[in-house]
Structure 1
Amino acid sequence: MRELEVVRPGPLALVQDLGRPGWSAVGVGRSGAADRGAYQLANRLLANPEGAAAVEVTLGGFDVAARGGDVWVAVTGAPVELRVGRRVVDPYAAVCVREGERLRLGVPKAGLRSYVAVRGGVDVPPVLGSRSRDVLAAIGPAPLVVGDRLPVGRPPRTYPQVDAVPVPVHDGDVALRVVRGPRDDWVRDADGLVRDRWTVSPHSDRVGMRLEGPPMRPAVPGRQLPSEGAYRGAVQVPPGGEPVVFLADHPVTGGYPVVGVVVDADVDRAAQARPGQSLRFRWI
């Protein structure tokens, strides 16, 4: 059986797919890849079916060895220096890792999360219909550690229609489009969200991207909002006044006002924002 043996996991490496929709009523969110576009592209480069599990690597440093046979891989998301054995190979391309060779990811110069897909998918047991790790609910495969072996599924019968694509740019200011409301009247000046420049906090994670900047003050101090359903991309304002953008592992409900919602097409961009990076919002 073909496997990938984890030699070094880096700061954080998680198995992810498209998540587990349909469980919110029992308190389990969808989860799934934080940058869905990059994850899906990695599978497309290998002709994998939609939803095949891959590895989400945060800030690089991931190192695996092919065991039991050759393995085709593709790495997308935050661009990294990529080595197979002693040779440097291109990210955003289908690459063969021979049996016994090691695939090594460097640290990305820009962006936060890279995706390592394998032809056939990472075939770990699913939990509630998904192989995704939800860090908030602690459901799904545990974060990868040295010595873990990831089974590789049977390769698809189809062959890739593309072998390489352009590498995206993740540096510079992050610009996110946001829809106003539904609780923008719970802060004194909701337009401060788009007027001010924010900085991505080092306390950000897959649950939410925390922002640092001028606090947004409540319109009525002390007023309490009943818990409401939460949504990926929601911009919530906690008591401290600095917004949080909900990401893949957000809670299913929240009790702080949501002053805006990042459009779904831009949430992947938010998932690639690094701590210390500057960020701006724009109403649409």
Structure 2
Amino acid sequence: MIEVLRAGALTTVQDQGRPGWAHLGVPRSGALDPAALRLANRLVGNDKHAAGLEITMTGCALRFTRAVAVALTGAPADVLVEWSPPVHPPTRAATPHTVGPAAPRDATRRPGDVGRALSLPAGAVLRVGPARAGVRTWLAVSGGITVEPVLGSRSTDTLSGLGPPPLRDGDRLPLGTPDGPPPPVDVAVTRPVPDALRLSVRPGPRQDWFTPEALDLLCRDAYTVSPDSNRVGARLAGAALPRAVAGELPSEGLVLGAVQVPPSGQPLVFLADHPTTGGYPVIGVVDDVTALAQARPGTTVTFHGPQR
């Protein structure tokens, strides 16, 4: 088991998501950076679909009731492993007048690194500090986290409530049986967190609901990530995108990366926990939203069309 000593701001169970259920109103969900979680699983010898933890901003603290291998990927953070050596039973000294337990020994501490597999003894505590850059760190544990799957996935969907709820202090998470020893990898090269993002966007299904200049404006001006962003979507602040058609649409399908524009004119890029339908027009679709997983509030975002 994993015992949650400190859950942090938002720590959720995630795997590669539950694709194929959009017709029932269920989004894919899953890790916001699926490749980062796959890498962490590879470092500890798990199948790529094994569930791990997505840790947001403030870190967490976990105790493991058995010996495990763990690996962290994603946002850089300070990592500390703590454990206490086993206490030996009382021993009798040479004279009968001094009998008692062995002298207590302090807990052992050693640092760890994001991007390296770590071996933890039973009873060890893993402390993950706040992200030094970016937003999210992914944790894999040998054997994977084996909470009950829902529609084929163990992922927490923060919009619909499917899957396990976000972690709370005192929670206990079951672990599966390790598949085998981790691969002999010394270190994994992780991508640095950029200070600014440049995203490729293609015209969306409702481009005609905007003025001819709107898509050019989206690709010309810089936007910043709003503090209101979450796993559902990245809200952006910047130039308002002018509409050519007033009124609202009947709800229609949405996909990962859809750039929806509410009446404020400020674009919203949908992420893993996005709704599957919506009534605001979609001006474009971002090809790859992975970089937004590490975009802190205030991060600069620019868009470019596929022809540029």
TM above 0.5, yes or no, is yes
Distance (whole Å) between structure 2 residues aligned to residue 74 and residue 175 of structure 1: 29
SS in 1 for 2:185: coil
Which of 200, 203, 209 pairs up with 1:180?
Answer: 203
Determine the structure 1 residue equivalent to 2:302.
280
Which of 121, 125, 148 pairs up with 1:98?
Answer: 121
- Aligned residues with identical type, % of pairs: 51
Task: Note if contact 2:29-2:157 (Cα within 8 Å) is conserved in structure 1.
Answer: yes
Alignment pair present for 1:80 and 2:104: no
Determine the structure 2 residue equivalent to 1:149.
172
Query: Which runs of structure 1 show a deviation greater than 4 angstroms over 4 or more consecutive aligned residues?
Result: none
TM-score, with length taken from structure 2: 0.87
SS in 1 for 2:275: coil
Determine the structure 2 residue equivalent to 1:41.
39
Task: Note if contact 2:59-2:131 (Cα within 8 Å) is conserved in structure 1.
Answer: no
SS in 2 for 1:115: strand
Determine the structure 2 residue equivalent to 1:201.
226
Determine the structure 2 residue equivalent to 1:124.
147
TM-score, with length taken from structure 1: 0.94
Which of 258, 270, 277 pairs up with 2:292?
Answer: 270
- Stretch moving more, 222-231 or 115-124: 222-231
Q: How does 1:1-284 map to 2 (within 5 A)?
A: 3-67=1-65, 69-85=66-82, 86-157=109-180, 159-188=182-211, 189-220=214-245, 222-263=246-287, 266-284=288-306
Task: Note if contact 1:72-1:96 (Cα within 8 Å) is conserved in structure 2.
Answer: yes
Distance (whole Å) between structure 2 residues aligned to residue 10 and residue 169 of structure 1: 23
C-alpha displacement of 1:161:
4.8
Structure 1 residues 74-113: Cα deviation after superposition (integer angstroms, max 9, x where no partner): 0001111111112111111110121122111111121111
Distance (whole Å) between structure 1 residues aligned to residue 234 and residue 184 of structure 2: 35
Distance (whole Å) between structure 2 residues aligned to residue 84 and residue 160 of structure 1: 21
Give ranges in structure 1 of 5+ residues lacking alignment.
Answer: none
Task: Note if contact 2:40-2:73 (Cα within 8 Å) is conserved in structure 1.
Answer: yes
Task: Note if contact 1:110-1:170 (Cα within 8 Å) is conserved in structure 2.
Answer: yes
Distance (whole Å) between structure 2 residues aligned to residue 231 and residue 271 of structure 1: 17
Give ranges in structure 2 of 5+ residues lacking alignment.
Answer: 83-108
SS in 2 for 1:145: coil
Structure 1 residues 170-219: Cα deviation after superposition (integer angstroms, max 9, x where no partner): 13111111112222222222111111110100000101000011111111
C-alpha displacement of 1:118:
0.4
SS in 2 for 1:81: strand
Distance (whole Å) between structure 1 residues aligned to residue 244 and residue 133 of structure 2: 37
Equivalenced residue count is: 278
Task: Note if contact 2:44-2:181 (Cα within 8 Å) is conserved in structure 1.
Answer: no
The structure with the larger Rg is: 2
Letter in 2 for 1:275: P
Distance (whole Å) between structure 1 residues aligned to residue 189 and residue 258 of structure 2: 30
Structure 1 residues 10-35: Cα deviation after superposition (integer angstroms, max 9, x where no partner): 10000011111222222111111111
